[in-house]
Chains A and B, each alone.
Chain A
Amino acid sequence: MLVLGVSGTLLAMLLVTGCGSSEDTEPAHAATDTRSCSGTIAVMASAGSADETQPAQMNWARVALDAFNAEHGSSFAIEASNVYDQTDRAAPEARRLAADATVVGVVGPVSSSVTEIAGPIFDAAGLAYVSPSATAVSLTDGHLKRFFRVVANNDEQAEAIVHLVTTTLDPKTVLVVDDREVYSTNLTAGVVEGFEKHGIDFDTASVDAGQPDYADVVRKITPSTDVIVMPLLDPDDAQRLVDQIHAAGKTPIIVGGDSMFSLNDFDAHGAYVPSYAPDVSKMEDGAATVKLYSQIFGDLAPFAATAYVAMETVATAALDTCRNGQATREGVAEGLPDVALPTTLLGSPVAFDKHHELVGGRYWMYRIEGGNYRLIP
Chain B
Amino acid sequence: MVLAILLGTAAVVAGLTAWRASAHSGEAQGEFARSTQALNDANALQQNASQAATDERSLFIAYEGALADQDPVRIADARGLMGPPTLRAIDWWSDQSRESRPQSPFSAANPEWTTPRRIIDARAALDESVAMLAAADEEIHASHNLELLEAMIAIAFLTGGLTATLKSRAAQSMLLGVSVAVLSLSMVGLAILW
Which residues of B come within 8 Å of A, CB atoms? 1-2, 5-6, 9, 12-13, 23-24, 27, 99-103, 107-111, 115-117, 119-121, 123-124, 127-128, 131-132, 134-135, 139, 176, 180, 183-184, 187-188, 190-191, 194
Contact = CB atoms under 8 A, between A and B. Distances in A.
A297 B120 contact: no
Interface size class for chain A?
35 or more
Contacts of B108: 47-48, 55, 58-59, 61-63, 78, 80, 297
A55 B121 CA distance: 23
A129 B45 CA distance: 35
A321 interface: no
B132 A296 contact: no
A247 interface: no
Contacts, number: 111
Nearest to B132: A28
A273 to B, nearest CB: 26
Given A17-B194, A22-B139, A47-B100, 4 more contacts: A6-B180, A13-B188, A292-B120, A296-B115
A17 B190 contact: yes
Contact of B183 (A3, A6, A21): A6
Contacts of A218: none
Nearest to A298: B53
Interface string A1-42: 011011101100100110011100000110000000000000
A309 to B, nearest CB: 16
Given A22-B139, A48-B107, A58-B108, A6 B120 contact: no
A62 B116 contact: yes
A113 interface: no
A82 B187 contact: no
A29 B131 CA distance: 7
A28 B6 CA distance: 41
A48 B103 contact: yes
Interface stretch (A66-74, A147-155, A169-177, A362-370): A66-74
A264 interface: no
B121 A49 contact: no
A10 B100 contact: no
Given A28-B128, A58-B108, A296-B116, A49 B101 contact: yes
A9 B187 CA distance: 8
A179 to B, nearest CB: 29
Contacts of A5: 180
B111 A79 contact: yes
For A6, A58, A297, the residue with the greatest tally of chain B CB atoms inside 10 Å of its CB is A6
The listed residue with most B CB atoms (<10 A of its CB), out of A2, A28, A292, is A28
B119 A47 contact: no
20 contacts: A3-B1, A5-B180, A6-B5, A6-B6, A6-B9, A10-B12, A22-B27, A28-B128, A28-B134, A47-B100, A47-B108, A48-B107, A49-B103, A66-B117, A67-B120, A80-B109, A80-B111, A82-B109, A296-B115, A296-B116
